[in-house]
């Protein structure tokens, strides 16, 4: 299985890099050596630095090479969908693999406006959190004893603890489900994608 995952990741990366390179040539603005080096060695952490004092913001230089790669990725994606709809499966496969592997190339695609479609249950999680919050609030109102402040504090602490615990469990359960869904998508797209043929 790890060999298959590595093959998927190699194929997805080769496809996206090739399309970005091709789009650069097509647009008349091909990648230079620095941009090609960045494309092949994307940073694994955000270059944005947070400073504690907003009174003295430190300007962060723009990364024009990264911005260019994002724009080229977006243009390549849009061009592929207009010219040849069959490549949509290749892009879906690449996006699913890169997101599953949490690869920096997925962040580049995200900054370029190319992201996986949000799962249907993402909104459901938001609704569940909202409903639970309302139930916890009602629980505090009905079970808190206003005559005894220490009782109110104990009930509030218990309700808040339960709320946070349930939300945490739900979050990790949904993340596991998301990973399972991505693996299923990769399996589905692998059968129909021509991405392996274009490696090289």
**What's the angle, vertex CA 176, arms to CA 175 and CA 179, rounded to 5?**
90
Radius of gyration of the chain from its Cα atoms, rounded to whole angstroms: 23
Give the predicted TM-score (pTM) of the model: 0.68
Query: Average pLDDT in the 163-189 region?
Result: 81
Task: Let me know: does 96 contact 182? Beta carbons within 8 Å.
Answer: yes
- 89-108: b (≥16 Cβ within 10 Å) or e: bbbbbbbbbbbbbebebbbb
pLDDT digits (tens, 9 = 90+) for 5-34: 588 899 899 999 999 999 999 999 899 999
Work out the pLDDT band at 56, boundaries 50, 70, 90.
low
């Amino acid at each position: 299985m790890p060999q298959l995952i590595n093959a998927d990741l190699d194929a997805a990366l080769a496809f996206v890099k090739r399309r970005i390179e091709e789009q650069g040539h097509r647009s008349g603005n091909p990648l230079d050596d620095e941009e090609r080096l960045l494309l092949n060695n994307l940073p694994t952490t955000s270059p944005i630095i947070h400073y504690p004092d907003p009174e003295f913001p430190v300007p962060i230089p723009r990364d024009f090479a990264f911005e260019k790669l994002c724009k080229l990725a977006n243009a390549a994606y849009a061009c592929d969908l207009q010219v040849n709809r069959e490549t949509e499966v290749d892009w879906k496969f690449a996006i699913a693999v890169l997101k599953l592997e949490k690869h920096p190339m997925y962040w580049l695609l995200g900054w370029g406006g190319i992201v996986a479609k949000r799962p249907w249950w993402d909104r459901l999680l938001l609704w569940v959190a909202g409903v639970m919050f309302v139930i916890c609030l009602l629980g505090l109102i009905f079970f808190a004893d206003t005559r005894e402040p220490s009782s109110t504090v104990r009930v509030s602490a218990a309700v808040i603890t339960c709320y946070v615990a349930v939300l945490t469990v739900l979050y990790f359960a949904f993340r596991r489900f998301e990973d399972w869904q991505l693996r299923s998508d990769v399996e589905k797209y692998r059968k129909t994608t021509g991405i392996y043929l274009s490696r090289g």
